[in-house]
Amino acid sequence: MSAGMTAYAEELVARLPRVAPDLGFTTFVRASHLDLREQIVLPLQLARARPRLVHHLSVYAPIVGFAPTIVTIHDLIHLRFPEMFKAAVGPYYATVVRALCRRAARVITDDERTVDDLERFLGVTPSKIAVIPLGVDDRFLAAAARADHRSDAIPATDDVPYFLFVGNHRTHKDVPTLLAAWASLPAHHRIDIRLTGIDDLPPELPRPERSRGKITFVGDVDASQLVALYAGALALVHPALCEGFGLPLVEAAAMGTPVIACREAIPGVLAGHVAVFEPRDVAGARAHMIAVLEGNIPRAAARAIARDLTWDRCAEHTAEVYRTVLEDRPSR
């Protein structure tokens, strides 16, 4: 699963028992998906446990079920851009995921944007969709609170100033637009671009260069390392053609780091409060990056909104969905 999907599962499992002490929880963990264990072993385990409610935290779930079911679907990027993913993805969604949605009592998603996709691609009735935004890791919120006494000026650093991208480098992330915008910045600026992850970009992908600046892949980083990356960045630039929620955007916003992103990548909660460019619009991304260099992108509104998006809040709203479904079902 992606880093965001993994964070979602780990945070809910850790927080639900605390925020919902009226409910009892059993967690089932498996290390693989799309195999017989998913469709045979897990249903048998669930049947023996006899839960009143089952919540599948991703689309990798069994078709059959023996209790009311909730499923979380973060996004349908695979169905929006099928040409960018493996050929087996479409049939899996058309069979397993569609069947899962059909029998689900509720479908949870992260952003209003995905509601239309759920109805369009999987036939999910909007009335049974619950939109629950994800949360910002406590380490970002703590670092942001410590930094509140600082001004809103561009962070001072002894290193070369840099723009930052956080995420994987799959085709729909549209890294080429980011690199092209960076390379086209005015030549007198000494400015780097940093990307999380390893350099796994296709060899045939053009690698633009600047006479004053370089591209750096910082490798896999944890939340503590991301705190430093966000704090030191001129801005987070996120050119993805689509995002389910976009955790890096709210993390950066919570830290007070300016956010520049493709319109389809911006979480609904931040819409209207961050700098926006159209898909694959190099000139638009470049213009916003120049505005940051000139100190002209506001960040206060996005920062305040992002800081309200805690994982406790996400868990509490999820527990409310559980209670609603349980109220509709007789007790054993």
Q: Note whether 225 and 161 are same-domain residues.
A: yes
Q: Note whether 279 and 161 are same-domain residues.
A: yes
CA separation for the pair 19, 311 (Å, rounded): 10
Predicted TM-score (pTM) of the model is 0.88
Instruction: Look at residues 273, 243, 73, 271 and name the one whose alpha carbon lies nearest to residue 174.
Output: 243
SS3 of 294-324: the string is CCCCCCHHHHHHHHCCEHHHHHHHHHHHHHH
Q: Note whether 302 and 178 are same-domain residues.
A: yes
pLDDT digits 0-9 by tens, 155-171: 444 578 999 999 999 99
Q: Note whether 146 and 252 are same-domain residues.
A: yes
Q: Note whether 297 and 323 are same-domain residues.
A: no
Is 332 part of any domain? no
- CA of residue 190 relative to chain centroid, distance: 31
Contact of 265 with 239, CB cutoff 8 Å: yes
Neighbours of 317 (CB within 10 A): 15
**pLDDT > 70 fraction of the chain, expressed in percent and rounded:** 94
CA separation for the pair 274, 216 (Å, rounded): 25
Give the CATH number, domain containing residue 99: 3.40.50.2000
CA separation for the pair 235, 286 (Å, rounded): 12
Domain residues for 268?
138-307
Strands 259-262 and 54-56: unpaired
Q: Note whether 129 and 265 are same-domain residues.
A: no
3-state helix, strand, coil in the chain (%, to 5): 45, 10, 45
DSSP state of 43: H
DSSP state of 41: I
Q: Note whether 119 and 142 are same-domain residues.
A: no
- Specify the 3-state DSSP secondary structure of 328: coil
pLDDT digits 0-9 by tens, 198-237: 999 988 888 898 989 999 999 999 888 999 999 999 999 9
Supply the mean pLDDT for the chain: 90
Q: Note whether 200 and 261 are same-domain residues.
A: yes
Strand partners of residue 238: 261
Q: Note whether 171 and 250 are same-domain residues.
A: yes
> Residue 251: is its pLDDT beyond 90?
yes
Q: Note whether 159 and 99 are same-domain residues.
A: no
Side by side, the strands of the sheet bearing 215-217 are 215-217, 192-195, 162-165, 235-238, 259-262, 275-277
CB neighbours of 162 closer than 8 A, spacing ≥ 6?
191, 192, 193, 194, 216, 232, 233, 234
Q: Note whether 115 and 244 are same-domain residues.
A: no
**pLDDT > 90 fraction of the chain, expressed in percent and rounded:** 64
Q: Note whether 169 and 283 are same-domain residues.
A: yes
